[in-house]
Amino acid sequence: MKAQTKTPLPDIYSRVTDKIVADLEQGVRPWVEPWKAGNAGARIPLPVRHNGVPYQGINILLLWAEQLDKGFQSKRWMTFKQAQALGANVRKGEHGALVVYANKITTSETDDKGDELEREIPFMKGYTVFNVDQIEHLPEQYCADPEPVETEPLKLVEHAEVFFANTGAVIRHGGNRAYYAPAQDIVQLPVPESFDTAESYAATKAHEITHWTSHKTRLDRQLGKRFGDDAYAAEELIAEMGAAFLCAQLGLTPEVRDDHAAYLDHWLKVLKADKKAVFTAASQAQKACNFLFSLQGEHEQQAA
């Protein structure tokens, strides 16, 4: 059994996109589905590497889908060699999951004038990881993930409300629609009492605040050049993924909104036409999530 699987770049894009397209064609949003398999109301953690560092972006979606499909209980993943280094082994017959690694290499070139120039070349490679449920003889600390801290739902949502307040986003209440208005740079939400649960209200706020990060004074998401006429649908895809990533970290169940069902056809069109689109969306969603968490640090520094 090989420790790693090196897959040609176009094939990685195709494999990942084809899997997500297949889910969307069944009406399944893979960034929300983990909460729907008997897990409603429970916290769904982010998948982590062997050392406990969380995965990001597209790898979250890939490993959530694999965990749900195979029924793994653990959130921890490692390579074949990492398991061997711990004196463990992958059980015979087990199949690993694809994750991807993206980075840039810097090369030096000489131009016509003899000047040396540096150029960055992006690259991506795929490799295989296994859930610890597939591995034998691991040290005990790797075999059981810590039990999530049991908290009262209202306390959990209160923590999320502090998080949202720390972003500095202007949030107004009224009416019966949830949306972000770029011109006014405000998040508009119905009053909390309009929602079935306080968690539903907070999850909807997570979606709209992900949109809020797109403003030109923040992440300045310019999707027109990348997605053309489908830029609006692409922004909704980014907001759905970003909200799911936020919910995983804040202990919330993401909201599956009926008013977003119409976007499924648009997303399928975009993803089928461009194998890199889902990587771009997941990357932008991760940037939005990271940006919102960076504001928490700024708030703490100002308080100090």
Examine residue 41 and state whether it is found in any structural domain, yes or no.
yes
Pair 163, 299 in one domain: yes
Nearest to 95 by CA among 19, 26, 162, 1: 1
Q: Are residues 29 and 115 in the same domain?
A: yes
Whether residue 265 is contained in a domain is answered as yes
Residue 63 sits in the same domain as residue 124: yes
Domain edge (last residue) among 115, 143, 171: 143
Going by DSSP bridges, is the β-strand pair 97-110/116-131 parallel, antiparallel, or unpaired?
antiparallel
Q: Domain boundary at 111, 143, 175, which?
A: 143
Domain end marker among 117, 143, 169: 143
Q: Which pLDDT belongs to residue 262?
A: 67
CA distance 25 to 4: 30
Percent of the chain with pLDDT over 90: 41
Q: What pLDDT was estimated at residue 48? A: 93
Residues 100 and 58 in one domain: yes
For position 6, what pLDDT does the model report?
A: 53
Range(s) of the domain holding residue 94:
9-143
- pLDDT value for 158: 84
> How many structural domains does the chain have?
2
Q: Please check whether residue 181 lies inside any domain of the structure.
A: yes
Q: Is residue 4 part of a domain?
A: no
Q: Are residues 132 and 182 in the same domain?
A: no
242 and 167 within one domain:
yes
Structural domain includes residue 148: no
pLDDT the model gives residue 54 = 93
Per-residue pLDDT tens over the stretch 166-203: 999 999 987 778 889 998 999 998 888 777 788 888 99
The confidence score (pLDDT) of residue 36 equals 52
Q: 2 in a domain, yes or no?
A: no
Tally of CB atoms within 10 A around 106: 8
Q: Which residues of the chain have pLDDT under 70?
A: 1-10, 33-44, 144-156, 257-262, 298-304
Q: 275 with 221, same domain? A: yes
Say whether both 161 and 256 belong to one domain.
Answer: yes
- Closest listed residue to residue 4, CA positions, set 129, 90, 106, 103: 129
pTM for this structure?
0.69
Residues 41, 109, single domain; the answer is yes
* 137 shares its domain with 174: no
Claim to verify: residue 135 and residue 258 sit in the same structural domain:
no
Is residue 219 a part of any domain in this protein?
yes
Statement to judge: residues 264 and 286 lie in one domain: yes
Q: Cα separation of 131 and 48, whole Å?
A: 10
pLDDT of residue 232: 87
Whether 83 maps to a domain, the answer reads: yes
In three-state form (DSSP H/G/I as H, E/B as E, the rest C), the secondary structure along the chain is CCCCCCCCHHHHHHHHHHHHHHHHHCCCCCCCHHHHCCCCCCCCCCCECCCCCECCCHHHHHHHHHHHHHCCCCCEEECHHHHHHCCCEECCCCCCEEEEEEEEEEEEEECCCCCEEEEEEEEEEEEEEEEHHHEECCCHHHHCCCCCCCCCHHHHHHHHHHHHHHCCCCEEECCCCCEEECCCCEEEECCHHHCCCHHHHHHHHHHHHHHHCCCCCCCCCCCHHHHHHHHHHHHHHHHHHHHHHHHHHHCCCCCCCHHHCCHHHHHHHHHHHCCCHHHHHHHHHHHHHHHHHHHHHHHHHHHC
